[in-house]
Chains A and B, each alone.
Chain A
Amino acid sequence: MTGRRSPLLLTWLGLGYAFLYLPVLLLIVFSFNGSRLVTVWAGFSTRWYVELLNNERIIEAAGLSVAVAAASATLATILGGLGGLALGRIKGFRIRPVAAALLGFLFAAPLVLPEVITGLSLLLLFVSLDNIIGWPGERGFTTIVIAHTTFSLAYVAVVVQARVRLLDPALEEAAHDLGAPPARAFFNVTLPLLAPALAAGWLLAFTLSLDDLVIASFTAGPGATTLPMVVFASVRLGLSPQVNALATLFVIAAGLCVTLAVVLIARTNRTAKI
C-alpha cells in the first residue's frame, strides 16, 4: 500500500465506523429528546435524566450493579493476576509445551464461551451446591459476584500475562541478588511493575460486570436486580426515553473505563521495553 489516501477508501472507512457507532450516537441524541415518543424529535431537554435520578428502582439497581462490579473486579484482579503471572512464566516451570498451551487455553476459554452456557452452568452449580451443603442459599449479590468473577478473571489474566512476558526475568533475580527474599522481591519489584496491568484488568472486569445481562439473569435471585436487568425488563414493556438516558450514562462510564484501561496498557508496555 502506498501513502496515497484515496477518497474511495476514506468513504469505506467512514461507512465502517458509522455502522459501528451510528446506533449509539442516535441513542445519545434521543436521550436529550423532549418528547415522550422515543422516535419523534421534539427539541432538546434533559428531563429524562432528571426523571432517571428520581427513579428509585433504577437507582437501587445501579447501586447493586456498581457494588457487584467493584467486588467481582477486585476478586477477578487477584485471581486473574495470579493466573496471568503463572501463565506468563509457564516456560520457566519446565512443563511440556502441549500442557502449557492447554493450561493457557483453558484459562482463556471463558473469553469465547457463550454467556448463556456460562450462566446456565453456574446456575446449575449454585442449585446443586445449595442442595448438598446448603450454600449459597438464596441467589443474589454473592452469586452474581462469583459468576462475574469467573468470566472476568480470564480478561485480567490475558492482560497481566502479556505484561509478565515483557518483564525482564532478570529483574526478580536482581532483587534476590541484592538481598531480597522471594516475597519481598515480589512486593517491591514485580508487583509495582504489574500494577498498571492490574489496574487495566480491574477496569476491564468492572466494565464487563457492569454491562452483563445474560449471566446476571441466570445467577440473580428475585431480590437482586442489576441495572442491565432493569433496562431489559423496561424495554420489554415499551421503549422509554429514560432508558435512553440511562444507556447514555452507561456508554460514557464504560467508555471512560475502557479508555483508561487502554491508556494504562499502552503506557506499561512502553516502559517495559527498557
Chain B
Amino acid sequence: MSGGSTLIRIDGVSRFFGATAAVADVSLEIGAGEFFALLGPSGCGKTTLLRMIAGLEAPDAGSIAIDGAEMTAVPPWERPVNTVFQSYALFPHLSVASNIAFGLKQEGLPRTEIEARVAEMLTLVELEGLGGRKPHQLSGGQRQRVALARALAKRPKALLLDEPLAALDRRLRDQVRSELAAIQRRLGIAFIFVTHDQEEAMSLADRLAIMRDGVLMQVGTPREVYERPSSRYIADFLGRANVIAGRAGGRDGAFLRIDTDIPGVTLRARDERSIGDGTPLWLAVRPENLSLDASEQANRLPGVVRESAYAGDVSRYEIEIGGTLTLRAVLPNRHGESAPRPARGAPVQVSWPAEAGVVLTE
C-alpha cells in the first residue's frame, strides 16, 4: 500500500443476492489519503462493495473496519464516510445550500458553524452565489458538484463515489476528472470510487482493484496492473493486450521459451518463476509494444496486415499470423516519420523485445 496507514480494512466480505454472490470473499486494505478505484464491468459487485463500506448494504460474511473501528454492524448514519451517489440524489425540495447543510444539521452543529461550512464548500466546488438555487435549476455538472460538496461538508474520513463521471458528457467528464483529482489532493482524505471505465480508473487512482463476478482479481497501482497483469482477463480488460496461447519450453537464462501452436514459432519472455516444461500458459503483449519491422530479436513473427486505421495520434493495425492468430499493434504517428507504413495486405515482420511480454498461467 502506498502512503500511510490503513484506513479501511475489508476482511473476507461476501454478499449474496439469492444464490449468486455479488461479492465473494473480498479482502482489501485502503490507505488514509489514497485515491482508490474499484474497477470492473457492470454487475461485477463493485457498487455492492462500495455500498457495504457506506453501510447501505450489509455483508453476509466478513467484516469491515474503518480507521480501526469495527463497522460491520454500524448503520450508515453513524459511519465516518460519505457518498456521492451515481444519480447524485440531491434533495429536490431543498436549495443547494440546504442540501449541503443537511448532514451538518443532523450533527446538531450551531447555525453559524453550519453557514460557515456551507460557504466553504460552495467555494471548494466553485459554486459561490448559487446556494439559493434549487437542484432542478442547475446543469448536470453543477449538480455533481453539489453532491460532492454535500458529502464533503461532513468532513468524512473517506469519500465514496459511485460512477462519479458516468452521467456527464465527454467534454465535461475530462474537466470534472481533473477537478476531482485537485480536490482530493487539497483535502488529503481517501477517495474511493467505482467505475467501469478503465481509462478513468488508471488516470485518477493511486491504486485500483479490478473485480469480476464478485471476485477481486488484482490490486495494485495502475502501472503494476497494466504492465504486470496477473491473468488473461486483466490483460484483456485493461488496454486489450494480445494474448498468445503456448506451452513452457525451457529457459534461456532469465528468459522463458514459449512454444506456440504456430509451426516453428518460439517466443521468449522475461520470467523468473520456475515453470515446468509443457505447462500451458499465455503470453500477453501490449499493442504499443509491437514493432512492424524486424528490429527486435527476441520475438519475431511473419504476418500480413489485415486492417489498418489512421487515428490521428496513432495508427492501429491488425496483423494475421499463420491463419490462426491476429495481433493488434498501435504505432505512434510522429510528424516527419520517414519509414513508410505498411498497407492492407502487405507482408510484415512483427517483433517485440522479451521484456515486453508477460507470462500468464491463468
Interface of A toward B, CB cutoff 8 Å: 168, 170-171, 173-181, 184, 188-189, 192-193, 271-272, 274
Contact = CB atoms under 8 A, between A and B. Distances in A.
A274 B76 contact: no
Contacts, number: 69
Contact of B76 (A168, A176, A271): A176
A274 B106 CA distance: 24
A193 B93 contact: yes
B351 interface: no
Interface stretch (B79-87, B244-252, B326-334, B335-343): B79-87
Given A173-B83, A178-B103, A274-B90, 18 more contacts: A170-B86, A170-B89, A173-B56, A173-B89, A174-B85, A175-B91, A176-B55, A176-B56, A176-B77, A177-B77, A177-B151, A179-B107, A180-B102, A184-B106, A189-B91, A192-B93, A193-B93, A271-B93
B91 A171 contact: yes
A209 B81 CA distance: 50
B135 interface: yes
A170 B151 CA distance: 14
19 contacts: A170-B85, A170-B86, A171-B91, A174-B83, A174-B90, A176-B55, A176-B56, A177-B56, A177-B83, A178-B103, A178-B150, A179-B77, A179-B78, A179-B103, A179-B106, A180-B77, A181-B77, A184-B106, A274-B135
A65 B125 CA distance: 56
Interface in B88-116: 89-93, 102-103, 106-107
B106 A178 contact: yes
A179 B75 contact: no
Contact of A193 (B55, B87, B92, B102): B92
B89 A171 contact: yes
Contact of B154 (A168, A179, A184): A179
A176 B75 contact: yes
Contacts of A178: 77, 82, 102-103, 106, 150-151, 154
A274 B133 CA distance: 14
A274 B82 CA distance: 21
A177 B106 contact: no
A274 B56 contact: no
Contact of A181 (B75, B83, B89, B90): B75
Nearest 8 pairs of A and B residues by beta carbon? A178-B103, A179-B106, A170-B89, A174-B89, A176-B76, A274-B136, A170-B85, A177-B83
A192 B77 CA distance: 20
A189 B143 CA distance: 18
B145 to A, nearest CB: 15
Contacts of B87: 168, 170
Contacts of A175: 91, 102
Contacts of B143: 274
A177 B82 contact: yes
Contacts of B151: 177-178
B54 interface: yes
A171 B93 CA distance: 11
Contacts of A180: 77, 102, 106
A173 B92 contact: no
A169 B129 CA distance: 29
A90 to B, nearest CB: 18
A114 B92 CA distance: 40
Nearest to A191: B93
A177 B106 CA distance: 11
Contacts of A170: 85-87, 89
Contacts of A174: 83, 85, 89-91, 150
Contacts of A173: 56, 76, 83, 85, 89
A170 B90 CA distance: 9
B141 to A, nearest CB: 14
Contacts of B82: 177-178
Nearest to A171: B89
Task: Give the one of B77, B78, B135, B151 with max A CB within 10 A.
Answer: B77
Interface in B42-97: 54-56, 75-78, 82-83, 85-87, 89-93
B331 to A, nearest CB: 45
B136 A271 contact: yes
Nearest to A270: B136
Contacts of B78: 179
B339 to A, nearest CB: 55
Contacts of A181: 75, 77
Contacts of B86: 170
Contacts of A177: 54-56, 76-77, 82-83, 151
A159 B86 CA distance: 28
Given A176-B77, A179-B107, A272 B92 contact: yes
Nearest to A274: B136
Contacts of A274: 90, 92, 135-136, 143
Task: Give the one of A170, A177, A179 with max B CB within 10 A.
Answer: A177
A184 B105 CA distance: 11
A69 B284 CA distance: 76
A266 to B, nearest CB: 15
A253 to B, nearest CB: 30
Nearest to B160: A177
A271 B102 CA distance: 20
B222 to A, nearest CB: 28
